[in-house]
Amino acid sequence: MERLLEFIKQYKRNRSAVVGFIVVVLLISTAIFAPIVAPYSPDIQNLADRLIPPMWDAKGVSSHVLGTDDFGRDLFSRIIFGSRISLMVGAISVGVSLSFGLVMGIVAAYFGGKTDLFIMRIVDIMLSIPAILLAIVIVSILGPSLFSAMTAIGIVGIPTYARIVRSSVLAEREKEYVIASRINGSSNIRLMFVVILPNCASPIIVQATMGFASAVLEAAGLSFLGLGAQPPTPEWGAMLSDSLQFITTAPWMIFYPGVAIFLTVLSFNLMGDGLMDVLDPKLKDK
C-alpha cells in the first residue's frame, strides 16, 4: 500500500505521463461504453447522407459530428467502435508475444548453457526476418483477417520480450535470495516463476506498455495494406485505406482515424515512459 502511494507520487512528477495515462483511461472507457457513447451503429449505411463534412464545416450537420464516409456511415461512431478493435488487437498481440517471450526468456536464462543457446538462436532467427514480411507470410498462410494480423503481430513481438526477460532474469538469478529459496526446497518452476519473475517485472511492464502502442500501429498498418481487418469492420487502418480515393474530396475521412491512431500510440508511449522513469532504477533521477 505504501509502495503504491510512493509509486503514484513518483509517477505524478512526469506531467506528460499523467496526460498519457488520462488519455489511455478515456480510450479504455470509450471502448467499453462504445454503444452508449456512439450516436450511431458503426455499420449502418445511409446513402442519402454520403460524404457529409464535419459539423464545423459550412456544409456539415450537427447530427454527424465528424461527418460521414462514402457509404453514409457516421465517422465519429466508427472511430469509437474502432477503439474496441485497436485495444483488443493491442491486448491480444501483446498477450501472445509476452506469454511466449516470457517463458522463452526465463527458461533460457534460468537453465543457461545449451538450452539458452538453442532458444536464443531461435530468437535471433526471428529477429533477422523483417517484421512486416513475417506478418505478410503469416497472413498469407492464415488468410487476411483481424485474427491473422493479431497473431502475426504477436509472433513478431516475441523476440523483444524474450531478450528483455532473459537479461533481467540473468541478473536476478545470481542473487542470494534465489539460493536461499532453493535451500528452502523450492522446485525449478517455483524458483523461475514465483521467486525470480516478480523481481523482473519492471522492464517487462514498461516493454508491454510500449509494445501495446506499436501493436496498435502495426495492426493499423496491416489493415491499411488489406492484410488485417476486412470491411465493414470499423478498424482505423482499414478506414484509412478505404478513404484513400476520397483524399481530395473528403479529407476528414482520412484525417480523424489518423488522429485516433496517433493519440492512442502517443498516449501509450507517454505512459510507458512514465512507468520506465518510476520502475527502472537505472534511469531514475537522470
Binding site for another protein (CB under 8 A): 3, 113, 175-177, 179-187, 195, 198-199, 201
Torsion angle of the four alpha carbons 138, 144, 150, 108, in this order, in degrees rounded to the nearest 10:
-10
Residue with cell 460524404: 51
Cβ-based nearer residue to another protein, 1 or 58: 1
In angstroms, what is the minimal distance from the CB of 166 to another protein?
Answer: 18
Helices (H) then strands (E): counts for the chain: 12, 0
In angstroms, what is the minimal distance from the CB of 65 to another protein?
Answer: 48
In angstroms, what is the minimal distance from the CB of 10 to another protein?
Answer: 15
Q: Which three cell numbers stand for residue 254?
A: 482520412
Cβ-based nearer residue to another protein, 58 or 113: 113
The backbone region for 155, taken as left when phi is positive above 0, alpha when psi lies in -120 to 50, beta otherwise, is alpha
Task: Note whether 104 and 121 are within 8 A (CB).
Answer: no
Cβ-based nearer residue to another protein, 45 or 202: 202
- DSSP codes joined into one string, 173-191: HTSHHHHHHHHTT--HHHI
Cβ-based nearer residue to another protein, 195 or 238: 195
In angstroms, what is the minimal distance from the CB of 17 to another protein?
Answer: 23
Cβ-based nearer residue to another protein, 174 or 285: 174
3-class DSSP assignment, residue 76? helix
In angstroms, what is the minimal distance from the CB of 271 to another protein?
Answer: 23
